[in-house]
Amino acid sequence: MKEIELKYGCNPNQKPARIFIENGDLPVEVLNGKPGYINFLDALNGYQLVRELQDATGHPAATSFKHVSPAGAAIGLPLNDVEKMMFFTGDKPLSPLASAYVRARGADRVCSYGDWVALSDVCDVETANALVSEVSDGVIAPGYTNAALDILKTKRKGGYSIVKIDPAYVPKKTELKDVYGITFEQGRNELKIDDSFLSNIVTENKVLPSCSKNDLLIALITLKYTQSNSVCYVKNGQAIGIGAGQQSRIHCTRLAGNKADNWFMRQHPYVLDLPFKSDIPRPVRDNTIELYISDDYDDVLQDPVWQTLFTEQPRVLTREARKEWLLNATEVSLGSDAFFPFGDNIERAKRSGVKYIAQPGGSIRDDNVIDTCNKYNMVMAFTSMRLFHH
């Protein structure tokens, strides 16, 4: 097949719309549903991301994409008991690929609502079962077991979009993009991110544990497919905060840091023990938790709807208690798609437990950034490679 007709483009008024290939056949096949223009943008960017994560770490990988940026990305490491509670998995069996998906979805459950999922490996039953439990638009993978495909086809009243991609597909070396009737051409970003990117450690502390190397690789590969400017916080094989598409570097760092803080706060005992009524859907729980851990909590308590969600009044989580809990945030890794121009980014990152950093370097204030890292005994590597993505 050389083309797939789409319902419309980015917006309903943008017609006609299609994806096509000039030579040969498309490497993608729609097995169910009818993916749209933005769905395919998410699918193709997301699949590149998870494939590179798998190549770099040796683990199955998954990502949750929204509007051509990842809301989360992760590799298939086992979940601990707290993570099972915060991601609502219960005692369901999880394959490594299913664990990767649950962790990717769990990075930012509010932003992942209605996401597009990309999987590095053939989708198995455990991953399909995890997928049907969430609100999602579609999935792309190199294949699906028959049982997994049957499960996914029940989602969204049979309309869930399922795309299969040929893992042997090799794209052209150049990319074309039309803007306002003018064609842009550039070489594909085929940069392979590996341990060599982390060899130039410029701080006094040069001890970079292997698990943190993995986390920094996850951060950098995730940034490679995130709309710039972007910053990514990672812990234990999982992106926990991604700041995408900001014009200012410090705004990226703050946005991603706030998301990382929320990820840590979801592990607070008060949050894990929220007395939700049994019939409260997951998306409502996610949004309620987001409010519960926010600075708006005091106002929310006055909302009569709040009282209808619980079997009893939740315990009060004060601002002081939130600040105290976030002191437990440690050993976090951070990547940036371009250099940090000021040390304020490091100061903000420190508040979210960042210990290890990878960034291109090259600012006229590199000395100030390095000095700020040294003040907190951080480890920072200069990669000498920008990772802008537009």
Between helix 37-57 and helix 210-224 the angle, nearest 10°, is: 160
Determine whether 338 is exposed, middle or buried from the number of CB atoms within 10 Å of its CB (0-12, 13-18, 19+): buried
Catalytic, out of 157, 173, 277, 390: 390
* Backbone Cα Rg of the chain: 21
Active site residue 59: no
List the catalytic residue out of 39, 59, 66, 350: 66
229 is catalytic: yes
Residues contacting residue 379 through CB under 8 Å, at least 6 positions apart: 201, 203, 205, 206, 207, 208, 212, 355, 356, 357, 373
Query: 74 has which bridge partners?
Result: 62, 238
Cα–chain center distance at 248: 20
The DSSP string of 335-365 is EESS---STHHHHHHHHTTEEEEEE----TT
92 counts as catalytic: no
126 token code pair: 């455990």
Cα atoms found within 13 Å of the Cα of residue 112, Cβ hemisphere only: 31
Q: Of residues 39, 129, 229, 262, which has the active-site annotation?
A: 229
> Is 72 in contact with 259 (CB distance < 8 Å)?
no
106 phi/psi in degrees, rounded to 5: -80, -5
Reply yes or no on whether 66 is catalytic: yes
Catalytic positions, written as ranges:
66-67, 229, 390
